[in-house]
């Protein structure tokens, strides 16, 4: 009989998603943890989420999910006070296993190690296992090994009981740089019965992601300027960088062919993928973007500037890996001018998602680990 566990997720920005409300931020890690937690509930585990303190009581339940809140988002308290708040919440959760996706400043792994609990760390970006790919100063990642984030990430990796990875590159770099082995579990998605026949015939270029410096959304605006006869749509929320977000939003208003949609509720996002033609990714680097699997589930080719995890875009002919902005524009034009190629690449993407990223298959890997 399966041993039932108390499992705690650290997901500071997941409160609105848990409550089913509109949010200024919906990020891939929150969606992944939310869908994973709901399935683990079905397997009898008890689930706690630690989030920011946004509204309501300090602790509450949404259905069977317990929520413990720490400090307010964008709080001006110092980093040590923030760490203390998270530590207290971890202790209060009294869980058997602590799961986090992305940087936790080392708190979860250290807490679990000292309290003789188990911790699972899911790596997001490739930069968390190889900081040498950070080639310029950006708000979200620090190249210095002596920064709080770098030291925290080192602790997270060194002390975690299990490290879950998104791609083979991460596996290789983790082993090389940290002398640890991880487990590759591919990003999951609930496969919907979308069909190619229902795919919109509109010519719309879509961009989906957090409006952050590492994602380089300003390059998508540059593309729209280069292709004034094509409609561009951008979906995304700010991630503690409201100045950057607002500037991008204002810049987009100057273009007649550009629609800045901001945050779209999680249960409505599929409409935009089905209504668009091609997904563009302009990030400096990624791990494995959830937007890729959402696009391919909706028969959309992906045209990516830099990110091509394990070279799957080109290996399975599901789009283009452009490498520079001029080539990206040319690749878009090729796809826009060829219904046959676009349908072929979109269909390849759909087949790949069904084979490799079906949630009903991948959840069994998580259940075995927990």
Instruction: Give the whole-angstrom CA distance, residue 76 versus residue 55.
Output: 17
Give yes or no: residues 295 and 234 share one domain: yes
Question: Domain for residue 1, yes or no?
Answer: no
Give yes or no: residues 341 and 363 share one domain: no
State pLDDT tens for residues 23-58.
656 677 888 898 899 989 988 999 999 999 988 899
Give yes or no: residues 210 and 321 share one domain: yes
Give yes or no: residues 117 and 211 share one domain: no
State pLDDT tens for residues 128-184.
999 999 888 887 787 777 788 888 899 999 999 999 999 999 999 999 999 999 999
Q: Give whole-number Cα distances, 160 to 27, 104, 147, 369, in Å.
A: 23, 12, 20, 13
State pLDDT tens for residues 333-348.
999 999 999 999 999 9
Q: Which residues 6+ apart lie within 8 Å of 330 measured at CB?
A: 322
Pairing of strands 118-122, 162-165: parallel
Please give the DSSP secondary-structure letter assigned to residue 74: T
Q: Residue 60: which CATH number?
A: 3.40.50.2000
Give yes or no: residues 183 and 209 share one domain: no
3-class state of residue 3 by DSSP: coil
Indicate yes or no: pTM above 0.85.
yes
First to last CA, the chain: 13
Q: Could you tell me which residues are beta bridge partners of residue 165? A: 184
Give yes or no: residues 229 and 328 share one domain: yes
Residue 1 has pLDDT above 70, yes or no: no
Give yes or no: residues 50 and 155 share one domain: yes
Instruction: Give the whole-angstrom CA distance, residue 329 versus residue 336.
Output: 11
Express as a percent the part of the chain with pLDDT over 70. Answer: 98
Tokens of 222: 């540059």
* Count of domains forming the chain: 2
Give yes or no: residues 23 and 65 share one domain: yes
Give yes or no: residues 271 and 310 share one domain: yes
Pairing of strands 162-165, 183-184: parallel
Q: If you average pLDDT over residues 291-316, what whole number do you get?
A: 97
Q: Quote the mean pLDDT of the chain.
A: 91
On the 0-12 / 13-18 / 19+ scale of CB atoms within 10 A, 360 is exposed
Domain range holding 298?
196-356
3-class state of residue 5 by DSSP: coil
């Amino acid at each position: 009989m399966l041993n039932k566990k108390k499992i705690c997720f650290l997901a500071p920005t997941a409160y609105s998603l848990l409550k089913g409300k509109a949010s200024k931020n919906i990020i891939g890690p929150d969606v992944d943890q939310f869908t994973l937690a709901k399935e683990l509930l079905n397997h009898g585990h008890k689930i706690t989420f630690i989030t920011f303190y946004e509204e309501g009581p300090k602790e509450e339940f949404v259905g069977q999910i317990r929520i413990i809140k720490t400090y307010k988002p964008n709080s001006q308290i110092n980093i040590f006070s923030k760490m203390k708040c998270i530590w207290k919440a971890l202790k209060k959760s009294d869980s058997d296993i602590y799961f986090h996706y992305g940087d936790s400043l080392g708190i979860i792994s250290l807490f679990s190690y000292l309290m003789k609990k188990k911790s699972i760390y899911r790596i997001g970006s490739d930069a968390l296992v190889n900081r040498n790919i950070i080639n310029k100063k950006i708000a979200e990642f620090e190249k210095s090994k002596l920064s709080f984030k770098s030291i925290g990430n080192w602790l997270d990796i060194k002390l975690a009981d299990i490290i879950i990875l998104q791609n083979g590159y991460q596996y290789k770099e983790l082993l090389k740089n940290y002398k640890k082995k991880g487990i590759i579990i591919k990003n999951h998605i609930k496969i919907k019965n979308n069909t190619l026949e229902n795919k919109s015939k509109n010519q719309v270029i879509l961009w989906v992601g957090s409006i952050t410096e590492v994602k380089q959304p300003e390059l998508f605006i540059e593309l729209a300027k280069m292709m004034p006869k094509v409609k561009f749509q951008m979906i995304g929320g700010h991630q503690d960088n409201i100045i950057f977000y607002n500037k991008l939003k204002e810049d987009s208003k100057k273009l007649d062919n550009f629609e800045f949609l901001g945050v779209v509720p999680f249960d409505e996002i599929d409409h935009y993928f089905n209504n668009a033609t091609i997904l563009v990714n302009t990030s400096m680097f990624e791990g494995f973007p959830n937007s890729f699997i959402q696009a391919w589930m909706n028969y959309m080719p992906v045209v990516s500037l830099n990110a091509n995890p394990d070279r799957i875009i080109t290996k399975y002919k599901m789009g283009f890996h452009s490498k520079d902005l001029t080539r990206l524009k040319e690749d878009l034009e090729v796809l826009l001018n060829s219904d046959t190629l676009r349908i072929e690449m979109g269909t390849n993407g759909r087949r790949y998602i069904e084979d490799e990223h079906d949630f009903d298959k991948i959840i069994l890997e998580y259940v075995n680990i927990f």
